[in-house]
Amino acid sequence: MYEIIDELEIDTNFLFVKLTGDNKGKPMEYQDVSSLMKRLKKKTGIDIHSHLLRHTHLTLYYLQTKDMKATQERARHVQLQTTMDMYLHLSSEELRKEWEKAQGAFNFNKPALIAGEKYEEKDNN
């Protein structure tokens, strides 16, 4: 199949493109992609849909850039909160690392820190 696609000489950045006809190389319509995903699911038994690919892309994009605003713009969401709620999920490892960074603030035996300060034990003897 890859040989066939290479022979078409389609230069595009789109993931789903029309392979034949007057619109060869043009992006597929949403209905076409949805239909393709349904056929793939029927043939393979794998529950895949285009929105899953979008979700994965946006999540990986954010994990690499750590730029929430750029991720929002890439997703074309009007509200930043939509991007945060729907697409970005921390892994268990990331949650652990974030907790390790923050846990000093939860140690009630030590004085509260001002942002950017480091806690230093004082010798009271």
| Cross-strand bridge partners of residue 17 | 27
Distances from the Cα of 5 to the Cαs of 29, 30, 50, 93, in angstroms?
19, 21, 20, 39
Confidence class for position 50, pLDDT limits 50, 70, 90: confident
Domain range list for the chain: 1-46, 49-113
What's the per-residue H, E or C state across 39-81? Answer: HHHHHHCCCCCHHHHHHHHHHHHHHHHCCHHHHHHHHCCCCHH
pTM more than 0.75 = no
* Between 97 and 91, residue with greater pLDDT: 97
Confidence class for position 109, pLDDT limits 50, 70, 90: low
| Cross-strand bridge partners of residue 27 | 17
